[in-house]
Amino acid sequence: RKQSDPYNWANTDWYDIALRKETPQVKYGLDMSGGSEKTKYFVSLSYFDQGSNYKTDIASFKRYTARTNIT
């Protein structure tokens, strides 16, 4: 509309108000392995964080992962 009546015909960009242009992501990982001739070990730890698409962080996603192996 031409903004002749802004109370009834508001010109609002709801995508710009509610959504981010970019979504931040972070991923960290740590792997360790070693051992001797008879035994070997492996340990893996990771962290993943993805922010929300919304400007308020109401729907962010975080994941923690751990894995171990001993032979």
3, burial (CB in 10 Å: exposed 0-12, middle 13-18, buried 19+): exposed
* pTM of structure: 0.65
SS3 state at 15: helix
Q: Tens place of pLDDT for every residue, the chain, 71 residues?
A: 566 777 777 777 888 888 888 888 999 999 999 999 999 999 999 999 998 888 876 778 899 999 999 99
